[in-house]
Amino acid sequence: MTQLTAQRPDLATAPLEPVRRVRVAGVFTIAIVAVVLLAAIHLTQGTSSVNAGDLLKLVIGQGTDNSANVLVASRLPRLLAGVLVGLALGVAGAGLQSLARNPLASPDTLGVNAGAYLAVVIFAAFGISLPTLPSGGIAFVGGLAAAVLVLSLSAGGTAGPTRLILAGSAVAMALAGVTTLLMLLYREETIGTFAWGAGTLVQTDLVAVKQMAPIVAVGIIGAMVLAPKLDILALGDDTASVLGVRVRRTRVWITLVTVLLSAAAVTVAGPVGFVGLVAPVLVRLIAPLVPGLMRHRVLLPLSGLSGILVVIASDVVLRAILGGQAGVEIPTGIMTMLVGAVVLVWLARRFRDSGPSRQQAGRAGGGLRTRRTFWIVTVSLVVLLVAALVFAMLAGDAFLRTGDIVNWINGRSGRAITYVLDTRFPRVLSAVLCGAALAIAGATVQAVCRNPLAEPGILGITGGAGVGAVVVLMAVPTAGIWLLSGVAAVAALATFALVYLVSWRGGLSSDRLVLIGVGVSSATTAIITFVIVYTDPWNISLAMTWLSGSTYGRTLPQVIPVAIALIVLTPVIVLARRELDLLSLDDDVPRILGVRLERTRLVALVGAALMTAAAVSAIGVVGFVGLVAPHAARALVGGRHARLLPIAALLGAVLVSVADSLGRTLLAPAQIPAGLLTALIGAPYFVYLLWRTRAVKL
Amino acid sequence: MKRLTALVAATLALVLTACGSSENITPEANSSSANQPVSVTDARNKKVDLKAPATKVVGLEWEIIENLITLGVQPVGVADVKGYTAWVSAGKLDGSAKDVGTRGEASVDAIVALTPDLIITTTDESPATITQLEKAAPVLVIRGADAKNAIPQMKTNLELIAQAVGKTDQAKTALAEFDQKLAEGKQKIADAGKAGTPYTMADGYKQGSTISIRMYTSGSLLGAVTNELGLKNAWTAAGDPDYGLAQTDIEGLTKLKDGEFLYIANNGDGGDVFGGDLAKNAIWKNLPFVKSGNVHRLADGIWMFGGPKSTEQFIDATVQAVTS
């Protein structure tokens, strides 16, 4: 596994450096002054005409009642909410990073925010209106469950950054899938939670802030009490035990405290993205200049201050650029998410690759099954696919019978059946083709990245295509499928090029590629939400479809780009199957055998990106297929790509097809987008994969 | 491998037992040959030709359902019956209509099972979906709303639907009643000496301590109607190009001068934001119209994006609120 060879020594020894009191005090002073200045600017921004002059008059006792009211009932609540959320998330982030001994841990990457948010939405959907305090308790339980799951999947975070991030992303995606589903089905009940879901600071009273402030205070005091033990824990579990720290108990306590802080923040403002990641990073940046900054007694409160700076600065910049009105329309969390994504990418770029000690994705030699097994699996899957196809054609609001299909094929069916099958056919076809395309793209990406957990979605390619498609839909509502596919393809390639180039540091490290991909894919989610909220805020169905994938209303022309991509690109990838086998081994073997490493990689990845883009423009953003299908295929027939690719394609086709059929039938006549069900089927399987391999370091 | 084989076998067995056909293929009877053919040009500028006025109609937006009931046609299929019942009181469903799914993604299977003569939807529906629906039955597309032209758009929608279902006389009557209601309302407001009074129309929803307020600009249907009643919209910033809605927070309300503040809340959806949650808010308490007691909650169940009947309910409620 890639170790944080650059960071580990800092993390381990920095806490023990002597504290330079004067310099540390200086840093605190600068941070507090910055917070005060930003807060002052923050107070002058808003949707009313009350400006800096009015507030100044208020200070010298000549203000109007109006400006006093605006200050007390709108500006201050918003500012205080920002301060409380920033503080809580900053401290929580620093605590989680120390707990996981991993600078990429945060309330977002551990799924805490997603868990807490889901818990809140469940209550909104079922119309259970709770006072702030118990609803904070619900958020705490949701966040805690998610954190415990992710931490146990990633061996407490010590299994390395890639594993932590992937476990966190998978759990967060699955939870977000359930959240979206609820919002889709309870549209009127949850109308207020959509923008709120990205984290907003709009506050109408101080109730939430007042009720959550004591909880945040308890959390911070708890963290400070634990601080000396965290210093010792940074030396390693064994050393800490020898020095008399009860490692397990300390870990449990710090988990509870940090989840409590994150849940309080979600209760006040919704999941404000990535603050817990960015805040401690900023502190770590200046740590080399100021010895002692990494002592937890200093690190924790300073991360809190840093968190306040991030939240308030994001809010100030958003409203300075787009005007006070934007502060209502655009959730602050979108801004912090974009900032956070940049920081995540920057952090990932600093990782050094510790060499070829990793387990390969392909293990082309290992896990090889007999030819007989391969054929049995192939035949079974073909039968299964045919069964899935037949089931998909039969299933719906009203179940048809096979005789109906026979009649339909022979052109003898009646009007109603003909129509139902005519409309079902493109849907079924798009599900099957997109499933196959995403699976092939996933298998290719995993081979090239030499990481069994990579996939087009995690590399940001799917999100990039989604951004392209949504922008086209908003700019040219009448756009045809070719324009949509074209722009989605260009955007997917551009996003991929960005990820590829940024990951390049004298060579391509696959772990760096995955980490940077996760950062970029978060950014694309933020951009899609931004575009929809800014241009068509009332079109929630559109938002849901483009953020979760749907086969609804597909027609045959929309399926053509995917079909073409499959027909043209599959042979290319199949021709490169030997190279893919070699690539998935390590860097040296292919070079020795005369494979032009970078060119092959690039061709394979471009092919995968194009296939992904075609699939996304047909059915929207569908995750997990590219991840799960190749994995299952590898388990069935081993890692040789000549066998892996067809099996993965079949599995992908079956998975999306079944998800689509279920989506149309489970709650009929209401329809669940196929992408959501794919996530709900795929995510648990992925979590299971992580669980099974948790002892083996990736 | 054994498990896989078993699964395949089970699936095959399931498929085979479902053999046979679920329909009797008989030529369809031509039920309404007595009526004359109808041709309507819809919002897409497309001619929709019907052999006879439609009687079995499926509607995929609530405004359409309300208009159908106004014209005396109970739809056979409705998107989100439960939501319609909760939000729209101007046109009562008689319980015979089938639910065809959500407003965003209605189920084509459920629609076609009703063998409708006509499907009516709005321009918000994606062109691909409309193309697909057209294979099942003729599709009439209306423009849901137009912020440049709110009242005429509402009337056009009713007229288009009326042509398609052969109820143009009923539409004329309904629109005449609407115009009369509007004129009477205007008169009552003038009589009460309220003409030219500034007003604000809003709704709002709450999540935690976050209250989002939706402002109805003069481009919205309700805003345009209130302007016609002789009141003056105090909210001058622009809204979105279709529904004419703008977003603001409590602080944004301080731009408003004294006047009438009208709002719609629904007890089924988070309750009364303005009457309840804002009661202790310092800005709210000191807004001129709050101080002078000119805040009016309109009755529940007035659909804000409806047809003439919902809008008449709104006129009644507004006139009542402003003149009392």
Instruction: Flag whether residue A356 sits within 8 Å of chain B, measured between CB atoms.
Output: no
What does the pLDDT look like over A573-598, one tens digit per residue? Answer: 888 888 888 777 766 776 777 667 77
DSSP for residue A75? I
Question: Hey, are the CB atoms on A401 and B21 less than 8 Å from each other?
Answer: yes
Q: Indicate the burial class of A329 (C-beta count within 10 angstroms; 0-12, 13-18, 19 or more).
A: buried
Lowest mean pLDDT among A241-250, A595-604, B281-290: A595-604
CA distance B70 to B74: 9
Task: State yes or no: pLDDT of A90 exceeds 60.
Answer: yes
DSSP for residue B45? S
What's the number of CA atoms in the CB half-sphere (13 Å) around residue B113? 20
Question: Out of A47, A269, A380, whose CB is closest to B252?
Answer: A47
Chain B residues whose beta carbon lies within 8 Å of the beta carbon of residue A322 = none
Task: State yes or no: pLDDT of A81 exceeds 80.
Answer: yes
What does the pLDDT look like over B29-64, one tens digit per residue? Answer: 444 434 688 889 998 889 999 999 999 999 999 999
Query: How large is the average pLDDT for residues A299-307?
Result: 94
Nearest of A451, A554, A465, A589 to residue A512 by alpha carbon? A451
Chain A residues whose beta carbon lies within 8 Å of the beta carbon of residue B19 = 401-403
Instruction: Flag whether residue A619 sits within 8 Å of chain B, measured between CB atoms.
Output: no
Instruction: Flag whether residue A475 sits within 8 Å of chain B, measured between CB atoms.
Output: no
Chain A residues whose beta carbon lies within 8 Å of the beta carbon of residue B14 = 391
What does the pLDDT look like over A434-487, one tens digit per residue? Answer: 999 999 999 988 888 777 667 788 788 888 988 988 888 888 877 777 888 888
Q: Which of residues 38-67 of A touch B (CB under 8 A)?
A: 46-50, 65-66
Query: How large is the average pLDDT for residues A48-59?
Result: 81
What is the per-residue pLDDT for A305? 95
Task: State yes or no: pLDDT of A2 exceeds 50.
Answer: no
Question: Hey, are the CB atoms on A413 and B268 less than 8 Å from each other?
Answer: no
Instruction: Flag whether residue A323 sits within 8 Å of chain B, measured between CB atoms.
Output: no
Number of A–B residue contacts, CB under 8 Å:
257
Chain A residues whose beta carbon lies within 8 Å of the beta carbon of residue B303 = none
Q: How confident is the model at residue A95 (pLDDT cuts 50, 70, 90)?
A: very high
Chain A nearest-CA residue for B78: A669
Task: State yes or no: pLDDT of A21 exceeds 60.
Answer: yes
Mutation for testing the B interface, residue in A45, A47, A211 having most B CBs under 10 Å: A47
Question: Hey, are the CB atoms on A414 and B25 less than 8 Å from each other?
Answer: yes
Q: Count the residues in chain A.
A: 698
Mean pLDDT (chain A, rounded): 81
Q: From residue A29, how far is each of A34, A41, A79, A275 by CA, in Å? A: 9, 19, 20, 21
Contact in structure between A468 and A488 (CB atoms under 8 Å) = yes
Q: How confident is the model at residue B154 (pLDDT cuts 50, 70, 90)?
A: very high
Question: Hey, are the CB atoms on A397 and B205 less than 8 Å from each other?
Answer: no
Chain B residues whose beta carbon lies within 8 Å of the beta carbon of residue A414 = 23-26
Determine the distance in angstroms separating the CA of A62 from the nearest CA of chain B, rounded to an integer.
18
Q: How are beta strands B210-216 and B245-248 bridged, if at all?
A: antiparallel
Lowest mean pLDDT among A306-310, A688-692, B243-247, B295-299: A688-692
What is the per-residue pLDDT for A541? 61
Q: How confident is the model at residue A273 (pLDDT cuts 50, 70, 90)?
A: confident
Chain B residues whose beta carbon lies within 8 Å of the beta carbon of residue A673 = 105
Q: How confident is the model at residue B120 (pLDDT cuts 50, 70, 90)?
A: very high
Q: From residue A145, how far is each of A75, A263, A695, B36 by CA, in Å? A: 35, 12, 21, 66
Instruction: Flag whether residue A427 sits within 8 Å of chain B, measured between CB atoms.
Output: no
What is the per-residue pLDDT for A514? 78
Determine the distance in angstroms separating the CA of A459 from the nearest CA of chain B, rounded to an integer.
30
Question: Hey, are the CB atoms on A268 and B127 less than 8 Å from each other?
Answer: no
Lowest mean pLDDT among A255-269, A670-684, B161-175: A670-684
Instruction: Flag whether residue B5 sits within 8 Å of chain A, measured between CB atoms.
Output: yes
CA distance B263 to B276: 13
Phi, psi angles (nearest 5°) of residue A184: -70, -40
Q: Which of residues 43-102 of B touch A (CB under 8 A)?
A: 83, 86-87, 99-102
Question: Hey, are the CB atoms on A403 and B286 less than 8 Å from each other?
Answer: no
Chain mean position to CA A38: 29
Task: State yes or no: pLDDT of B225 exceeds 50.
Answer: yes
Query: How large is the average pLDDT for residues B11-32?
Result: 49
Chain A residues whose beta carbon lies within 8 Å of the beta carbon of residue B115 = 415-416
Q: How confident is the model at residue A310 (pLDDT cuts 50, 70, 90)?
A: very high
Q: Best-predicted range by mean pLDDT among A109-113, A146-150, B174-178?
A: B174-178
Task: State yes or no: pLDDT of A191 exceeds 80.
Answer: no
Question: Out of A267, A327, A398, whose CB is closest to B109?
Answer: A398
Given the cut 0.85, state whether the ipTM is greater than it.
Answer: no
Nearest of A515, A543, A550 to residue A529 by alpha carbon? A543
Instruction: Flag whether residue A378 sits within 8 Å of chain B, measured between CB atoms.
Output: no
Helix, strand, coil % over all residues of chain B, rounded to 5? 40, 20, 40
Greater pLDDT, A219 or A237: A219
Question: Hey, are the CB atoms on B128 and A554 less than 8 Å from each other?
Answer: yes
Task: State yes or no: pLDDT of A359 exceeds 50.
Answer: no
Instruction: Flag whether residue A422 sits within 8 Å of chain B, measured between CB atoms.
Output: yes
Q: Give every CB contact of residue A610 below 8 A, 6+ residues apart in sequence.
A: A489, A492, A493, A565, A569
Question: Out of A192, A413, A422, whose CB is closest to B207?
Answer: A192
Chain A nearest-CA residue for B281: A73
Chain B nearest-CA residue for A673: B105
What is the per-residue pLDDT for A366? 46
Query: How large is the average pLDDT for residues A322-343?
Result: 84
Greater pLDDT, B206 or B180: B180
Lowest mean pLDDT among B77-81, B104-108, B189-193: B104-108
What is the per-residue pLDDT for A449? 76
Greater pLDDT, A172 or A494: A494
Q: Count the residues in chain B.
A: 324
Task: State yes or no: pLDDT of B224 exceeds 90.
Answer: yes
Query: How large is the average pLDDT for residues A426-433?
Result: 91
Q: Which two tokens stand for residue B245?
A: 């809605």
Q: Which of residues 115-174 of B touch A (CB under 8 A)?
A: 115, 124, 126-129, 131-132, 135-136
What is the per-residue pLDDT for B213? 87
Chain A residues whose beta carbon lies within 8 Å of the beta carbon of residue B88 = none
What is the per-residue pLDDT for A67? 83
Q: Which of residues 283-322 of B touch A (CB under 8 A)?
A: 283-286
What is the per-residue pLDDT for B316? 94
Greater pLDDT, A584 or A605: A605
Chain B nearest-CA residue for A536: B240
Question: Hey, are the CB atoms on A671 and B269 less than 8 Å from each other?
Answer: no
Instruction: Flag whether residue A670 sits within 8 Å of chain B, measured between CB atoms.
Output: yes
Chain B residues whose beta carbon lies within 8 Å of the beta carbon of residue A192 = 205-207, 210, 212, 270
Task: State yes or no: pLDDT of A358 exceeds 50.
Answer: no
Query: How large is the average pLDDT for residues A248-269?
Result: 88
What's the number of CA atoms in the CB half-sphere (13 Å) around residue B184? 11
What is the per-residue pLDDT for A70? 85
Chain B nearest-CA residue for A132: B208
Q: How confident is the model at residue A311 (pLDDT cuts 50, 70, 90)?
A: very high
Question: Out of B23, B87, B131, whose CB is closest to A414?
Answer: B23
What pTM, to 2 d.p., does this model score?
0.81
Instruction: Flag whether residue B31 sits within 8 Å of chain A, measured between CB atoms.
Output: no
What does the pLDDT look like over A125-170, one tens digit per residue? Answer: 676 666 655 666 788 888 888 888 888 887 765 666 677 777 887 7
Greater pLDDT, A29 or B125: A29
What is the per-residue pLDDT for A312? 94
Lowest mean pLDDT among A92-96, A257-261, A635-639: A635-639
Q: Which of residues 258-287 of B touch A (CB under 8 A)?
A: 268-271, 277-278, 280-286
What is the per-residue pLDDT for B17? 47
Determine the distance in angstroms separating the CA of A664 from the nearest CA of chain B, rounded to an integer.
8
Q: Which two tokens stand for residue A492?
A: 């997917």
Greater pLDDT, A529 or A668: A529
Contact in structure between A644 and A634 (CB atoms under 8 Å) = yes
Task: State yes or no: pLDDT of B13 exceeds 70.
Answer: no
What is the per-residue pLDDT for A37? 95
Mutation for testing the A interface, residue in B44, B117, B210 having most A CBs under 10 Å: B210
pLDDT over 70 for what percent of chain B?
87
Instruction: Flag whether residue A550 sits within 8 Å of chain B, measured between CB atoms.
Output: yes
Query: How large is the average pLDDT for residues B165-180?
Result: 94
Q: From residue A245, how far is each of A10, A231, A248, A250, B323 by CA, in Å? A: 21, 10, 9, 8, 75
Chain B nearest-CA residue for A415: B136
Determine the distance in angstroms separating the CA of B164 from the nearest CA of chain A, rounded to an integer.
22
pLDDT over 90 for what percent of chain B?
45
pLDDT over 90 for what percent of chain A?
17
